[in-house]
A and B are shown apart, each in its own frame.
Chain A
């Protein structure tokens, strides 16, 4: 019998908790027939293949949002994935409201097609990329990453995308470019919730060039094998797994290559609390709370707490980027 390890299973074959529940409620009469199989291999049983057999409606939806993906050796293994339901209903996306449940309710109005990403600043020539061209630029990989928010909660998310470095190579940045800035979509007429905070919009984030070129830094188009839900930063975002979540800008419309450290949103709000680097670092506390531990989302209240790892567990890959730097001062 072929027994596959969880790490061998592409996310497109993993039955998300919610779709599994939907499937059960729709096909209650089949429950007894399939429950044995589901219990034995819920993760191996392909949701869409089962849907093919049983529910044409579900298949149509899955086809529209499904992405063709390949495995990646850069995936994090040995962690239980956070459910699709939690990843899509516990979001910080302040353009759509400041409560964690707001983006799931409000982000539907974000117009994700047509969508272009403008590249400007220190490049040979400014360019504009269409989202559909970006999707085809490189093969899309399933990348499971830990995600650690500065607020001390964490998830494990099966993202879909390719290394940002592949995209940057297409942008022809000049040697004088030392940083790259990401600007998120902003239209006050669409995002009516921006007055709930006193943030200056559009949302801006940035990375040092070597951080942006690191293979772990992901240009992200999907999660759980599907296109990104709007509340998770559709249609394209970055994911920098060794940094606090707010560094991973969502719904990107502009990529700008610059010489000086760019002005970034949370740094502007409070430089003492949200440093430019914001690497996950259990030894450097946020001024208002400890960063030594975190709450894993989706666990029962008595089992949420766990230890936070240096660079969110990616020290082996990224620590060398910061050789000789005082991480307590450059937080």
Chain B
């Protein structure tokens, strides 16, 4: 891929990822956040955090599918950091607009309410990943260690999905699409790795 194409694609990714955030800012400034602004901000940021996190998890399976897609790795960090960006605003929205920074309510929530526990745990898991996202940190940790640490992203994504299911009313199926997407992407890894190994084995045997 040429440098020019890469820059174009990265710019487009930035715009796409920033889109929902800029939309919220615009709506907040023009007083257009809808009937329930707090919930609009919370739902938009939460949904996009999960969506972008799941998109970042699509990179590896796609690369396994075809070596021609290996350039996708250049977008994974960007997606991961944007997921963390939205997750952080989501958490801040909850603390500011839902709790009014009342730490007693937070204490009750974090000990009693399972959907808060799942969501908060997912965010906590993303923190070390965001902190070690720099090239410097990768070099410092070494590829192997870094890879092992970043396996936490699977837990974070699953935690986020559980948080979503536990938040909606029982019987409401809106988290289904993201859940199926994540399940497919997680299952694709072992399947694709198995197929690839068999191919290499055959190639070696031949």
Contact = CB atoms under 8 A, between A and B. Distances in A.
A266 B108 CA distance: 25
Interface stretch (A43-51, A112-120, A196-204, A225-233): A196-204
A301 B174 contact: no
A313 interface: no
Given A290-B105, A301-B97, A295 B39 contact: yes
A73 B109 CA distance: 40
B38 A98 contact: no
B113 A300 contact: no
Contacts of B171: 197-199, 269
A297 B173 contact: no
In which size bucket is the chain B interface? Answer: 20 to 34
A288 B115 contact: yes
B36 A297 contact: yes
Contacts of A90: 34-36
A35 to B, nearest CB: 20
A289 B37 contact: no
A58 to B, nearest CB: 24
Contact of A197 (B33, B115, B172): B172
Contacts of A323: none
Nearest to B34: A90
Contacts of A199: 171
A17 to B, nearest CB: 12
Interface in A11-64: none
A153 B36 contact: yes
A90 B98 CA distance: 19
B167 A298 contact: no
Contacts of B98: 305
Interface in B9-25: none
From B97, B109, B171, name the one whose CB has the most chain A CB atoms within 10 angstroms.
Answer: B171
Interface string B165-187: 01101111110000000000000
Contacts of A151: 169
B109 A98 contact: no
Given A197-B172, A269-B169, A290-B108, A295 B36 contact: yes
B31 interface: yes
B37 A100 contact: no
Contacts of B115: 288
B35 A298 contact: yes
Contacts of B109: 289-290
Contacts of A99: 174
Interface string B110-134: 0001110000000000000000000
B35 A270 contact: no
Contacts of B169: 151, 197, 266, 269
Nearest to A304: B38
Contacts of B38: 295, 301, 304-305
A269 B170 CA distance: 6
B28 interface: yes
Contacts of B33: 300-301
B41 interface: yes
B100 interface: yes
14 contacts: A90-B36, A99-B174, A100-B36, A196-B172, A198-B171, A199-B171, A297-B35, A298-B35, A301-B28, A301-B37, A301-B97, A302-B97, A304-B97, A305-B38
**Which 4 residue pairs across A and B have the least CB separation, nearest first?**
A301-B37, A90-B35, A86-B35, A198-B171
Interface of A: 85-86, 89-90, 98-100, 151, 153, 196-199, 266, 269-270, 273, 287-290, 292-293, 295, 297-302, 304-305
